[in-house]
Structure 1
Amino acid sequence: MTTPIKLAIVLHDLRGGGAEKMMVRLANELAEGGDHIDLVLLTERGVTEKHVSSKVNIIDLNAPRTMTSVPRLVKYLKQSRPDRVLSALTHVNVIATIACLLTGMLKQLHTSERNAFSRDKLVNSDLSVKLAYFLAPYFYRWQPNPVIAVSQGVADELVRDTVVRESDTVTAPNPVLDNNFVDKQYSDSQHPWLANRHKPIIVAVGRLAEQKGFDVLIDAMAMVRKQMDCCLIIFGEGEDRAKLEDQVKQLQLGNNVDLPGYSSDVLTEMANADLFVLSSRFEGSPNVLVEAMSTGVAVIATDCPYGPDEILDGGQIGPLTKMENAENLAGAIVEQLSQEDTKRSLRLARAQTYTSQNASVRYRHLIVEAIG
């Protein structure tokens, strides 16, 4: 029987991003196993709070900004003295490193990188965040415990493009899925195209932003429509909505492409589709691809940095297409929709890697076996 530990998981907030959801899942699973978990929020709570287990203790530091939260985090660490500290996201990792250094707890700290580092740092123009991205690789090289990357691609990029050494990184899968996901029963879709399906339906999910490559997917859809009658539904919201809607209009795809916004049950929508497509330009480890696989639906993904290649076992579980290549993506879609799907069991088996239980076992091993 394992000895329970006191673990502080440090996040900026619970506003609903992928990192927040994954850390909440990890916190819940570890707490269920008997560990004492403090979920330490630097600034505020958010919509993901509703998913936090009653066994997890939420600590609000209520700092005005993430970058001004060091004194409050130092005070918490001095008072609580957790056995281990786990932080997620680059700018939070920098804050946690400074706070642990000031409290003599650097040996207890574990940091986690969630995305393609060189690309993600270009997305945010805030000067303090840019400073964090400059400092983080030096901190990862200097701190006693290796940074935990969500995929081997993320780890390899840190080594290739920064001062981080191979020995400064380890990997652990995201806790994307419930442990009993295979037994999940899906209801009827809420989207009318899926509820009354008369032609093949393709589904994509994500923030309507350049990173997700939906513009390339819509261009591919225009090519697919010349060969077969099918429809595309893109679930999500974001800053590129108007641009994507204009693209659909210009390509005269109004009857074949829909952007309905968020779905309250996106797994059900994916389960009722014929094909899921990930068209991203970069990721860290795309949780939505794993979620799609868990429903059994056929999948296609761009071979973007990073994650799809690992998740799809180099293309053995689902086709990998060239980035920024609508023609290549269109060809894969037509081929997938034109043939019998024989890889459902492979997708379900691969998805098992990303259950909350499997992820928590890996994280706990890395944390408990570490220095300090």
Structure 2
Amino acid sequence: MKIGMVFPAVEYGGQEKNLVLLSNELYKKNYDLEILSYGNKNFTTANINPNIKRINLELNSIKFVIINLIITLITSGMLKIYLKSSLKMVGYLISNKYNTLICFQAGGLISFLKILTMSKTKIITRESTSPISMTRIQKSAFFYSLRINLKKFFYNLSDLIIANSKGSKNEINNILNKDKAIQINNICDFSNTQIISATKFDPIFKSPTKKIITVGRLNATKRVDILLKATKKILDTHNVDLIIVGEGPEKLKLKKLAKDLTISERVHFIGFSDETHNWIANSDLYVSASIVEGSPNSIIESVCLGTPVVAADCNFGPKEILDNGKIGILVPINNTSKMIKSINNILDNEKLRKELSKLSKKQKSNYSADKISELYIREISKLNEIN
């Protein structure tokens, strides 16, 4: 059985990390698989087993010059990459090169191409966020309705949809009015990872301040501005540093806000890091103010590493990961005052911090690479039993 892991527009983050971790585990279990992506951009959040073959979906053949030029002229960003990748994917689908394609991106497009080519390849679309919450960001009722209907159309074309949260799974099944989506957790497994002690890892940890950390792409939906405003108030009563790990379009704006709040010296923009586990493990508290999530890796990693969590109660991941607030603190979204109160509460209560840390670590087995890969294997096998 041959498996293709589809990730055209390689970008660092949770999807990339999960693709690499799942690929490595499936390869370890002797599955024949390849990773398909556009261009030769390296994966950076985790190391791919060097024996796993990567397929470049970039097609520079003279026969496709005009098509490539048209795509370049009329599209941009990820859509451009998806469409250019599809030229090569058509050939793979026609030849049925893969028994199963697991699409971490562009699942709808690949499913559509499968129908056009009448391929026998099974298509699994992986959904990593709340489809309705992301669509609601659209301010226009027309575009909201359009996107929901497009999602419904493309979801129907996939053989299976795997969501990484129960809430997202339920949303998808409600959109489709049938049970086509299932839920499988992200992988988070530090069983073979050595955590570097705080003072040896980074000079930031040499100061006696409490370390508050957040990790993720710096875009508007992450609401890192709330964390900056909260830090300003928390500094009135606590000696803290805010560590921000990640890159994104809001970075300069957030740096300016930190300066305007006169807290620049207490806010550390780390940028991208492939050692998020060390940053999180050595911090006193993980915080998230995100208004839209699927099942955020950074919160899962915090739970597995035993770092207490305060998170905005957005749909759906944080609530599920934190067991409805039993192993972490949930606050209403877009609520700076509740965020401040909850952070202060944990900083003031060492007993609570230790209790949350203890409860969190008990959840590690839910995210083990062995367990999650077996769930994928089961679903792949079931699909390929169907002729």
Task: Tell me if TM exceeds 0.5.
Answer: yes
Runs of 5+ unmatched residues, structure 1 = 125-129
SS of the aligned residue for 1:185 comes to coil
- Residue 187 of structure 2 is matched in structure 1 by 175
The answer to whether structure 1 residue 192 and structure 2 residue 206 are counterparts is: no
Q: Per-residue deviation at 1:166?
A: 4.1
- Residue 70 of structure 1 is matched in structure 2 by 86
- Residue 104 of structure 1 is matched in structure 2 by 118
- Residue 81 of structure 1 is matched in structure 2 by 97
Tell me how far apart the structure 1 counterparts of residues 108 and 84 of structure 2 sit (CA, whole Å).
12
SS of the aligned residue for 1:232 comes to strand
Deviations 1:62-85 (A, max 9, x none): 145312433421212333532222
Cα 1:346–1:45 change in 2 (3 A) is farther
Runs of 5+ unmatched residues, structure 2 = 60-67, 69-80, 139-144
Q: Report if aligned partners of 1:94, 1:135 keep a CA contact under 8 Å in 2.
A: no
Cα 1:231–1:17 change in 2 (3 A) is closer
Would you identify which runs of 4 or more consecutive aligned residues in structure 1 move more than 4 Å?
121-124, 130-134
Identity over aligned pairs, percent = 26
The answer to whether structure 1 residue 37 and structure 2 residue 19 are counterparts is: no
Q: Report if aligned partners of 1:13, 1:20 keep a CA contact under 8 Å in 2.
A: no
Q: Per-residue deviation at 1:263?
A: 3.3
Counterpart AA for 1:138: F
SS of the aligned residue for 1:173 comes to coil
SS of the aligned residue for 2:286 comes to strand
- Residue 41 of structure 2 is matched in structure 1 by 46
The answer to whether structure 1 residue 218 and structure 2 residue 263 are counterparts is: no
Q: Per-residue deviation at 1:264?
A: 4.5
Tell me how far apart the structure 2 counterparts of residues 202 and 53 of structure 1 sit (CA, whole Å).
33
Q: Per-residue deviation at 1:335?
A: 0.6
Q: Per-residue deviation at 1:328?
A: 0.3
Q: Per-residue deviation at 1:217?
A: 1.0
- Residue 315 of structure 2 is matched in structure 1 by 305
Alignment match of 2:292 (pick from 268, 273, 282): 282
Cα 1:53–1:309 change in 2 (3 A) is same
TM-score by length of 1: 0.87
Q: Per-residue deviation at 1:331?
A: 0.7
Q: Report if aligned partners of 1:223, 1:327 keep a CA contact under 8 Å in 2.
A: no
Q: Per-residue deviation at 1:314?
A: 0.4
Cα 1:25–1:264 change in 2 (3 A) is closer
Q: Report if aligned partners of 1:94, 1:132 keep a CA contact under 8 Å in 2.
A: no
Counterpart AA for 1:73: M
SS of the aligned residue for 1:310 comes to helix
Q: Per-residue deviation at 1:131?
A: 8.4
Deviations 1:328-372 (A, max 9, x none): 011110111111221323212213212222211111112211334
Deviations 1:125-148 (A, max 9, x none): xxxxx98875332132354x3311
Q: Per-residue deviation at 1:302?
A: 1.0
Matched length: 355
- Equivalent residue runs for 1:323-362 within 5 Å: 323-339=333-349, 340=351, 341-362=354-375
Q: Per-residue deviation at 1:280?
A: 0.9
Tell me how far apart the structure 2 counterparts of residues 203 and 142 of structure 1 sit (CA, whole Å).
40
- Residue 26 of structure 1 is matched in structure 2 by 22
Counterpart AA for 2:25: E
Tell me how far apart the structure 2 counterparts of residues 55 and 349 of structure 1 sit (CA, whole Å).
33
The answer to whether structure 1 residue 269 and structure 2 residue 284 are counterparts is: no
TM-score by length of 2: 0.84
The answer to whether structure 1 residue 165 and structure 2 residue 165 are counterparts is: no
Residues 258-267 or 351-360, more deviating = 258-267
Counterpart AA for 1:359: I
Cα 1:133–1:187 change in 2 (3 A) is farther
- Residue 150 of structure 2 is matched in structure 1 by 135
Tell me how far apart the structure 2 counterparts of residues 201 and 17 of structure 1 sit (CA, whole Å).
22
Tell me how far apart the structure 2 counterparts of residues 345 and 34 of structure 1 sit (CA, whole Å).
35
